Amino acid sequence: MFSLESITNAVQDWLNANFSPMWALIIQCAIVILLAMGLFATLGLVLVLMERKVAAHMQIRLGPNRVGPKGMFQTAADTLKLIMKEGLTPEGADKLLFNLAPFVVMIVSMLLLAPLAFSNGFQLWDLNIGVLFISAVSSVSVIGILMAGWASNNKYSLLGAMRSGAQIVSYELSAGLSIISIVVLAGSLQISDIINSQQDGWWIFKGHIPAIISFVIFIIAVTAETNRAPFDLAEAESELTAGFHTEYSGMKFALFFLAEYINIFIACAIGATLFLGGWMPLHIGHWQAFNHVMDYIPGVVWFFGKTFFLIFVIMWFRWTFPRLRIDQLLNLEWKYLLPISLFNLLLVTLIAIMGWHF
C-alpha cells in the first residue's frame, strides 16, 4: 500500500548513512522548509483560483477562463504582477511595525503547520499537547493584524484591526470549547492519538448529536477567526475600504492575502483532523471488508479531500450569507454560540463518562 511514511523513513536512513547526525538534521530541516514553502505557494495559487471559480459558479458566472486552460494560470499571473509591484510604505507609518506585520501573520500560519498530520507518520512535530498548541498559536495572528492596523497610520486600518481583535478574542472561546469536546471524547491532546481514536469511525458519527453541534460551532467560529465573510468586518470593503491591509501593496499585500488562505486551509485541516478523522479512511465499526477497501485509498488523499471539502463549505458560506453588523456578531457569539457550546460540552462529557459513544 502506498504510504508517505516509507518515503520519509528511506530519506532518513539514507541521510544517516551518508552524513554525520548533525548534518543529517540540518538537511532534513532544509527539506522540511522547502516542502512547507512549496505547500504554501501551491495552496495560495490553488485556493485563490478555487475561491474565484466557486464564487463564479454560485453567482451563475464562469469565473476566470482566459489565462491557460480553463483559467488555471490566472492566479500565477496575478502573483507575477504582485511580485513586480512596488511595496510602498506610507509617509506617516511606523516603518518597522508596518514592514514586520505581514511576516508575523505569515509566521503564525507556518507555526500552525507543525502539528498537522498529513498522512500516517507524515507529521512535522507530534507534540503531546498538539491541540493546545494549535489553539494557543492561532490567537497570535491577531497581534500581526493589530500591528498592521496600528502601524498604517490610517483610521480605516485601525478600525478594521480593532474589530478583528474583538472578533478573534470572542470567537476563540467557542472554537476552543468545541475543540475541547473532541478532546474529552478522545481523551488526549496529541494529534496522532486523536486520529487513532477514530479508527472505528469519525468523531462526528461516533459522538452522536453533540459532536455534530460542536462541529457546526467549530466551523462558524473558524470562519469568524479567519476573518471570512459573513464575518469579514475587519476588511469590510464597503465601509473600511480594505480594513487592516488598506495601506499595503505589492508583495506585502500578497503575504496578507496568502496568510488568509493558508489560515483557512489550516483551520479546515484541524476541523478535518478532529471531527472527520484526519488521514484516517472512512471506517464503519466492524465491517472488515468495507474498511479494508477504504484502506486502499492513501491517507494523504483522505486528508486533502476532507480539508478541501471543508474549505468548499466555508467558501459556500462566503458567497451565500450577507455580512453581520458588529453588534450582531458579538450577540451571536456571547448569546448563542457560547451558551450552546458550554451546554454541549456538558453533554459530551456525560457521553464520554458513561461511554455512550460507539
Partner 1 sequence: MAFIKQYISEVFGAVRSLWKGMRTTGRYFVRPKEIITQQYPDNRDTLVLPERFRGEVVMPHDENNEHACTGCTACELACPNGTIKIITKFDITPEGKKKKALDTFIYHLELCTMCNLCIEACPTDAIKMAKNFEHSVYDRSKLTKRLNKPGSKIREGIE
Q: How far apart are CA 222 and CA 226, in angstroms?
A: 6
Count of Cβ atoms closer than 10 Å to residue 209 Cβ: 10
Q: Is 19 in the site for partner 1 (CB under 8 A)?
A: no
Cell of 91: 509617509
Query: Which residue number, 304 or 319, has a Cβ lying nearer to partner 1?
Result: 319
The piece of 56-64, 126-134, 185-193, 268-276 that touches partner 1 (CB under 8 A) is: 56-64
Which grid cell is 128?
A: 503531546
- Cβ contact 101:254 at 8 Å: no
Residues forming beta bridges with residue 119, ordered by sequence position:
122
Least separation in angstroms between residue 339's CB and partner 1 is 9
* Angstrom distance (rounded) from CA 123 to CA 35: 12
**Bridge partner residues of 68 (DSSP):** none
Please say which residue, 30 or 209, places its beta carbon nearer to partner 1: 209
- Segment near partner 1 (CB under 8 A), from 21-29, 152-160, 168-176, 314-322? 314-322
Exposed e or buried b per residue across 255-283, where buried means at least 16 C-beta atoms within 10 angstroms of its C-beta: bbbbbbbbbbbbbbbbbbbbbbbbbbbbb
Work out whether 327 is an interface residue with partner 1 (CB under 8 A). Answer: no
Is 321 a binding residue for partner 1 by CB under 8 A? The answer is: yes
Name the one range near partner 1 by CB under 8 A: 90-98, 151-159, 300-308, 318-326: 318-326
Using CB under 8 A as the binding rule, the residues of this chain from 57 to 96 that contact partner 1 are 57-62, 65
Q: Which of 124, 134, 99, 38 is nearest to 249 (CA)?
A: 99
Q: Is 316 in the site for partner 1 (CB under 8 A)?
A: yes
Question: Closest distance between partner 1 and the C-beta of residue 336, in Å?
Answer: 6
Choice between 128 and 328, CB closer to partner 1 = 328
Q: Which residues bind partner 1 (CB under 8 A)?
A: 54, 57-62, 65, 316-317, 319-321, 336, 340
